[in-house]
Chains A and B, each alone.
Chain A
Amino acid sequence: MTALHETRETGEPDTVSAVSAAATDAARDNLAALESEAIHIFREVAGEFDRPVILFSGGKDSTLLLHLAIKAFWPAPVPFPLLHVDTGHNFDEVISFRDRMAERHGLRLIVAHVQDWIDDGRLTERPDGTRNPLQTQPLLDTIAEHRFDAVFGGGRRDEERARAKERIFSLRNAFGQWEPRRQRPELWNLYNGRHRPGEHVRVFPLSNWTESDVWNYIARERVELPSIYYAHQRKVYRRDGMWLTEGPWGGPREGEEVKELTVRYRTVGDGSCTGAVESTASTVEEVIAEVQASRLTERGATRADDRLSEAAMEDRKREGYF
């Protein structure tokens, strides 16, 4: 049995007194409304699908997903396993956080290592060394192998223009592809999860959250995150307008000067193309202040792969990536 309060850094016990209705009622409070919507979606999937799974990287959106799943089924354990597609280019702090969270909540964690696909020739390393685009096949292979029929992702519609029309229940065909014509209108809070054998549905409980909502909720609920989301000292070098860090994905090339800066990450992905931002925000409140003043969207600031082309995201979605 995993109690909810264990996810909180402070370890405060659950409140025993009745929570005042005014404080958290969905009709009066934006975050309560978004939380209730996400919980409804989790329960709907639990009721209608045979083999759901939560994509869990240890990043902030997937950590929020897990937090909401725990709340949806409390005091019972979350009835789904976790799945991570590990590029081998992830930050150590995030991987150990991922493992810690799975263990704390007693959840099975399935890891698909991109390296395995490279080693046996199903995938080849790209010349630029970036592995984000290589995640698609291991993800689809693992979904097929385990016959998952609902796959929760942390995608939000405000992240990117191509996502503005994404459904909360997004149908994928037997090849994992997204077909615009088969996407269903979503009416009221009635979700249609019907699919044929071999097909699956991607489910996005955070669709209606913005980056500010995510951070405000993380602060309100005291959700624990990997340390690299907060300011720390790091050796970095400049490439394509981003601060990259050394790792198994490579390091500075000739002429790229290494500096030690105070930075944090706004997203955590493949280390070869995820940039740090200069920041002294070391608490969640300071991060919120920074987000509010920020002039760059998350993806624009930190993800090189999205900057390749304006429609890059859309192309990858058709292929079955997120």
Chain B
Amino acid sequence: MSSLLRLATAGSVDDGKSTLVGRLLYDTKSVLADQLDAVQRASVDRGLSTPDLSLLVDGLRSEREQGITIDVAYRYFATPRRSFVLADTPGHVQYTRNTVTGASTAQLAVLLVDARKGVVEQTRRHAAVLALLGVPRLVLAVNKVDLINYDEAAFTVIAKEFATHAASLGYAEGSVLTIPVSALHGDNVATRSENTPWYGGPTLLEHLEQVPVAPDPHDAPFRFPVQYVIRPRTADYPDYRGYAGQIAAGTVRPGDEVVVLPQGLRTRVTRVDTADGPRDEAGAGSSVTVLLADDLDIARGDLIASATDRPEVTDEFTATLCWLSSSSLRPGARVLVKHGARTVQALVEELGSRFDEQTLSTVDSPESLELNEIGGVRIRLSEELPVDEYSHSPRTGAFLVIDPKNGDTLAAGLVGERLSAVGAG
């Protein structure tokens, strides 16, 4: 049985990200002959002697014509131990929008730097955004080590500098790894390099295969947004009433005491159902149907949570917004908030701060928030929602801000003041 790891990549233009992703696909034999043929032909057309693996991850034609990548692309590769879903987030324009999107589902992020340049400003910004979104693990791939003659001393300087920066963002030592690689030649990507005898750690692929996929779910309190009420009313199941959803955090077992929010009704889980039969336990990420002891009025949008560790039910909260739209945000804006399976009207009462990427600090009371900017706000809701601090339970501390007029997604929202947590403020 193999597990699934969702990861994101980030790096500045020309650090070799496309080559590295192409290399991962190639070395795990996730590229098939006809795709490779196409790349080979295109490489010959461009006068190259070896196939350019970065062409394996080329994007849409309009982007190819402009020669830039502007949107998150998803890539798939697998080893016998694990399958990988890779969100390839371009590091060019709109990088915050893309990094936030890729990071929202990532269990690990691979940051790339050019060994000749080391940790640059954009590396720090990327790492700050990844920390803000709570990506649990980071890998720094120090690429193009062939161009610094596989020099240990230069690598160590970069590794130390990055470790210090990651620590300032709240990353524990064990959750960050720096690896010397050459995406072009393959050193330490899938095969251990003979050119770096001084490096004793795993290759990038070994690390991706072995890293624990999730924190222990038993540590997190149970959170279950009700998506849909299953009531067959058929001859076989006349009285069946189950609450369907995907477990956002924690685990659930029959017998567990729970509370239904925002109503605040206490009850007990009698059964955790799936089409394959009842489960004796189910954990985060599993789609199940929960049956309860009491006949309560529960609908889509309600949240079933642990009775002992429950989220706050509130109609006003502090949040951090990653603004993803080209229309700007000003205080007083009327928006929609989608949280779990519920969408409510909301007012952005106050725009308290903006993250300054240049200085990695915050600016107080900005006039507006623009595309790719991150800011601290106060939000008032038209009805109460059960919300967690993002740092406590990301999936129930996350929300979308939606434009009520045209339905566009305007922002990624995180409940709580997160800017000081990433060193700004």
Q: A residues within 8 A CB of B32?
A: 294-297, 300
Given A25-B283, A295-B33 in contact, is the A196-B407 Cβ separation under 8 Å? Answer: yes
Q: Mark B261-293, 1 if CB is under 8 A from A, else 0.
A: 000000000000011111111111111000000
Q: B residues within 8 A CB of A77?
A: 232, 234
Residue in chain A with minimal CB distance to B58: A161
The answer on a CB contact under 8 Å between B278 and A161 is no
The answer on a CB contact under 8 Å between A188 and B398 is yes
Contact check: which of A25, A161, A208 meets B282 at CB < 8 Å? A25
Contact check: which of A1, A36, A44, A300 meets B35 at CB < 8 Å? A300
Contact check: which of A28, A70, A195 meets B3 at CB < 8 Å? A28
Q: B residues within 8 A CB of A208?
A: 74, 76, 85
CA distance in complex: A182, B88 (Å):
20
Contact check: which of B59, B274, B400 meets A164 at CB < 8 Å? B59
Chain B, interface size: which category? Answer: 35 or more
CA distance in complex: A71, B61 (Å):
37
The answer on a CB contact under 8 Å between B280 and A20 is yes
Residue in chain A with minimal CB distance to B413: A187
Please tell me if A4 contacts chain B, counting CB pairs below 8 Å: yes
Contact check: which of B76, B275, B279 meets A158 at CB < 8 Å? B76
Chain A, interface size: which category? Answer: 35 or more
Please tell me if A118 contacts chain B, counting CB pairs below 8 Å: no
Q: B residues within 8 A CB of A21?
A: 279-283
Interface residues of B in 281-313 (CB under 8 A from A): 281-287, 300
Please tell me if A124 contacts chain B, counting CB pairs below 8 Å: no
The answer on a CB contact under 8 Å between A185 and B234 is no
CA distance in complex: A212, B84 (Å):
13
Stretch at the interface among A10-18, A229-237, A247-255: A10-18
The answer on a CB contact under 8 Å between B34 and A70 is no
Q: Mark B406-418, 1 if CB is under 8 A from A, else 0.
A: 1111001000000
Contact check: which of A157, A183, A213 meets B74 at CB < 8 Å? A157
The answer on a CB contact under 8 Å between A192 and B282 is no
Q: B residues within 8 A CB of A24?
A: 274, 276, 286
Q: B residues within 8 A CB of A46?
A: 228
Q: A residues within 8 A CB of B230?
A: 73-76
Contact check: which of B74, B214, B407 meets A194 at CB < 8 Å? B407
Q: A residues within 8 A CB of B282?
A: 21, 25
A-B contact pairs, 7 of them (CB 8 A): A4-B276, A14-B277, A47-B227, A73-B228, A165-B60, A196-B407, A208-B74
The 6 closest A-B pairs by CB, nearest first: A194-B407, A300-B34, A26-B285, A74-B275, A295-B33, A39-B287
Which positions in B face A, CB cutoff 8 Å? 1-4, 32-35, 38, 57-62, 71-76, 78, 82-83, 85, 88, 97-98, 100-101, 104-105, 213-214, 217, 227-228, 230-232, 234-237, 240, 244-246, 274-287, 300, 324, 338, 341, 394-395, 398-400, 402, 406-409, 412
A43-B244, A161-B35, A187-B409 known; 10 other A-B pairs, CB under 8 Å?
A16-B277, A24-B276, A25-B283, A33-B285, A75-B234, A180-B71, A185-B409, A192-B400, A192-B402, A213-B83
